[in-house]
Amino acid sequence: MSDPLLQLTGVTLRFGGLTAVSSVTADVKEGELAGLIGPNGAGKTTLFNLITGVYQPTDGRIEFAGAGTGGVKPFHLTGRGIARTFQNIRLFPSLSVADNVRVAFHRHLEHRTGHSWLRGRRFHAEEAELGERTRELLGIFNLERFQEAPAKSLSYGDQRRLEIVRALATGPRLLLLDEPAAGMNPSEKDELMRLIRFVRDRFGLAVLLVEHDMKVVMGICERIHVLEYGRKIAEGSPEEIRADPKVIAAYLGD
Amino acid sequence: MAFPVAQRWLLGVLVVSLGASALSGSIDPYFLDVVMGVGVSVVLASSLNLINGFTGQFSLGHAGFMAVGAYASAMLSTVVAPRLGWSPALLQWVFFPFSLVVGGVLAALAGLAVGAPSLRLKGDYLAIVTLGFGEIIRVILQNVDAVGGARGLTGVPTYSTLFWTFGTAALTVYTVWALLNSTHGRGFLAVADDEVAAEAMGLDTTRYKITAFGIGSFFAGVAGGLYAHLKGYLNPGGFSFDKSIEIVVMVILGGMGRHAGVVFAAILLTLLPEGLRELGGRSVPNPFGGAAWSLDWIKDMRMILYSLLLIVLMLTRPQGLFHRDERRRKRA
């Protein structure tokens, strides 16, 4: 079997006396749809922040695509192929929908800041090509008709989708989704599940998903990691997790 | 793509100001002085707009960067230039732009020196650091005898013409505009909107902020050079905190992060005190007959009226003078 795309080995994060994440070992394989669940405050979002380089682990090691991520800045990790969405939507509200996606293409640009001053042929060719790619990407998610609208004017569901589109524009190999179903109604959730599967198949990337909605997690994840109080208490297929007494105890109490 | 239009605009302004410059001999000197002051203001406001408006960093040190450029280029013109033995035309057309660029580069270096360590700070905290920097510059200038100390620096040759002031203004506006209207440039706005998200989308937010600071303070330095060679005299007091505030007001009044609005506000706020001064010397006919009403009182109330107008404008147009949101417009 090939090496996992993302490998966490004994990852620990302490804030002073508080151990937010304690010796977590987990992995995400290439092209896998993995889930990360746990009660409130279990450390799921903190783990996301560790993977994306916002926090540095106090102990342990994180490897992405075979290389350690220790000390690497978040924007460099994005360049290496980790993209994310946020629990509370963090679009660029004053930018248009198209520009939100366009800036995310930034790392793949060949021209540099100086070229936008000279505005030569190459600059225009590349900008035009990016415009085309942005339109194409928005088109896949039926957002192209909002292109010129400011991102803040979109409906809640559309903003969530735009966040995913923006993350995809960075060209990731691993997409981290932080509670994508939060605040969605049942039909929107069904739509979201279809969307996540579609994204994985179409772009051939691995997805790691933090989610509270069990229907969504159980419905699409192939493998689920369970956190409680910063420790990993279980890992397995949805069926295994559903039947795991430790998980049931964590959610329902002893 | 409308971009060649922008470059044509730039070229157009350069040609027109060159023409106007040639005719400036027949223009009233006071009027000329005011108009060139407008050009300097446009450079200052547009460059600060890149930092405060577009990138969302609150700098209160623009007058400090301006002072660095002003003194640097003025020293070049008063100390180095006379020893070269160049002809006046050569001095004005070659040495002067060179001294402006040197002033700009030194100001940019000062900007980077302040910016690099303090850009972790946000909002009010950054404002205070830049404010402190501006004051340090002023106090140093006040106490260094080589640059005239508190007496000021006199005898700066008046090389600034309509061409140099408006040419630089056009170049500044073009630079800020061109920088913003590109995929890279949208990054400045993204940094202003949400730094965490920008970082997660692969933007090096620190580099963006430093770039904004570097370019913004470069043009502030150039504006300082223009100012020095316009007035022929520099005084540290002219680069106090008040001056920084004046520029910040232009940016806020024009609407943070609007190109045209800020240019317009810079023009308006530079002309307004002069316009009121002019008005103070006149009188209006009395509609009820009798003696004409003198407007002499405006002379004394000039700065109060100016401040009142600012308050009224902010209350009625908090989003800036121009309501239309330029950012939403299709990329040119």
Using a CB–CB cutoff of 8 Å, tell me whether B330 touches chain A: yes
- The token duo for B203 is 């933007």
Other CB atoms within a 10 A radius of the CB of residue B184 amount to 23
pLDDT at B45 over 60: yes
A-chain residues near B325 (CB < 8 A)? 150
Residue A47: the pLDDT is: 94
Q: How far is CA B170 from each of CA B14, B148, B153, B281, rounded to the nearest angstrom?
A: 7, 32, 28, 33
Give the residue among A210, A194, A191, A221 at the shortest CA–CA distance from A41.
A210
Say yes or no for a CB contact (<8 Å) between B203 and A75.
yes
Taking chain A, what is the end-to-end CA distance rounded to the nearest angstrom?
Answer: 38
B-chain residues near A150 (CB < 8 A)? 325, 327-328
In angstroms, rounded to a whole number, what is the distance separating the alpha carbons of residues A130 and A109?
Answer: 9
- The token duo for B274 is 């002069």
Say yes or no for a CB contact (<8 Å) between A112 and B184.
yes
Say yes or no for a CB contact (<8 Å) between B201 and A113.
no
Say yes or no for a CB contact (<8 Å) between B187 and A106.
yes
Using a CB–CB cutoff of 8 Å, tell me whether B112 touches chain A: no
Top pLDDT among B12 and B321 is at: B12
pLDDT at B41 over 90: yes
- The token duo for B256 is 């943070």
Considering the entire predicted model, what is its pTM?
A: 0.89
Q: B326: pLDDT confidence band, cut at 50, 70 and 90?
A: very low
Sign of CA dihedral B44, B47, B49, B55: negative
Q: B280: pLDDT confidence band, cut at 50, 70 and 90?
A: confident
Top pLDDT among A68 and B116 is at: A68
In angstroms, rounded to a whole number, what is the distance separating the alpha carbons of residues A140 and A168?
Answer: 11
Using a CB–CB cutoff of 8 Å, tell me whether B5 touches chain A: no
Strand ranges of the sheet holding A18-28, from the earlier edge strand across to the other edge: A18-28, A6-15, A59-64, A67-68
Using a CB–CB cutoff of 8 Å, tell me whether B61 touches chain A: no
Residue A26 has φ and ψ, to the nearest 5°, of -160, 165
Say yes or no for a CB contact (<8 Å) between B197 and A90.
yes
Determine the distance in angstroms separating the CA of A210 from the nearest CA of chain B, rounded to an integer. Answer: 17
Residue A254: the pLDDT is: 61
Q: B327: pLDDT confidence band, cut at 50, 70 and 90?
A: very low
Which of A75, A102, A166, A175 has the most B C-beta neighbours within 10 Å, making it the best mutation to test the interface with B? A75
In angstroms, rounded to a whole number, what is the distance separating the alpha carbons of residues A143 and A135?
Answer: 9
Classified as helix, coil or strand, A15 is strand
Nearest to B3 among A74, A119, A131 (CB): A119
Residue B62: the pLDDT is: 95
Say yes or no for a CB contact (<8 Å) between B197 and A99.
no
Say yes or no for a CB contact (<8 Å) between B199 and A74.
yes
The single-letter DSSP state of residue B292 is P
Say yes or no for a CB contact (<8 Å) between A92 and B190.
yes
Mean pLDDT of B305-326: 74
Q: pLDDT by residue (tens digit) across B97-111? A: 999 999 999 999 999
In angstroms, rounded to a whole number, what is the distance separating the alpha carbons of residues A207 and A41?
Answer: 22
Using a CB–CB cutoff of 8 Å, tell me whether B305 touches chain A: no
Taking chain B, what is the end-to-end CA distance rounded to the nearest angstrom?
Answer: 5
Residue A2: the pLDDT is: 63
Q: B210: pLDDT confidence band, cut at 50, 70 and 90?
A: very high
By C-alpha distance, the chain A residue nearest B193 is: A92
Q: B114: pLDDT confidence band, cut at 50, 70 and 90?
A: confident
pLDDT along chain A (254 residues), means of 10: 85 92 94 93 92 93 92 92 93 93 86 80 88 93 91 90 94 94 89 93 94 91 94 93 90 73
Q: How far is CA B61 from each of CA A27, A138, B41, B189, B324, rounded to the nearest angstrom?
A: 49, 42, 15, 21, 29
Strands (E), A192-230: 206-210, 223-228
Sign of CA dihedral B41, B45, B47, B48: positive
Residue B51: the pLDDT is: 93
Q: pLDDT by residue (tens digit) across B190-203? A: 999 999 999 999 99
Nearest to A75 among B182, B194, B199 (CB): B199
- Asked if residue B193 lies in contact with residue A45, where contact means CB atoms within 8 angstroms, the answer is no
Strands (E), B142-251: none
pLDDT at B329 over 60: no
CA B108, distance to chain mean position in Å, is: 14
Q: pLDDT by residue (tens digit) across B52-89? A: 999 999 899 999 999 999 999 999 999 999 999 899 89
Using a CB–CB cutoff of 8 Å, tell me whether B75 touches chain A: no
> A with B: how many residue pairs have Cβ under 8 Å apart?
116
Which of A72, A91, A119 has the most B C-beta neighbours within 10 Å, making it the best mutation to test the interface with B? A119
In angstroms, rounded to a whole number, what is the distance separating the alpha carbons of residues B78 and A181?
Answer: 68
- Asked if residue B202 lies in contact with residue A106, where contact means CB atoms within 8 angstroms, the answer is yes
For chain B, what percent of residues have pLDDT higher than 70? 95
Which of B186, B189, B215, B329 has the most A C-beta neighbours within 10 Å, making it the best mutation to test the interface with A? B186
- Asked if residue A29 lies in contact with residue A5, where contact means CB atoms within 8 angstroms, the answer is yes
Sign of CA dihedral B78, B81, B85, B90: negative
Residue B133: the pLDDT is: 92
Say yes or no for a CB contact (<8 Å) between B328 and A148.
yes
Q: pLDDT by residue (tens digit) across B25-34? A: 888 889 999 9
Q: B332: pLDDT confidence band, cut at 50, 70 and 90?
A: very low
B-chain residues near A169 (CB < 8 A)? 201
By C-alpha distance, the chain A residue nearest B194 is: A92
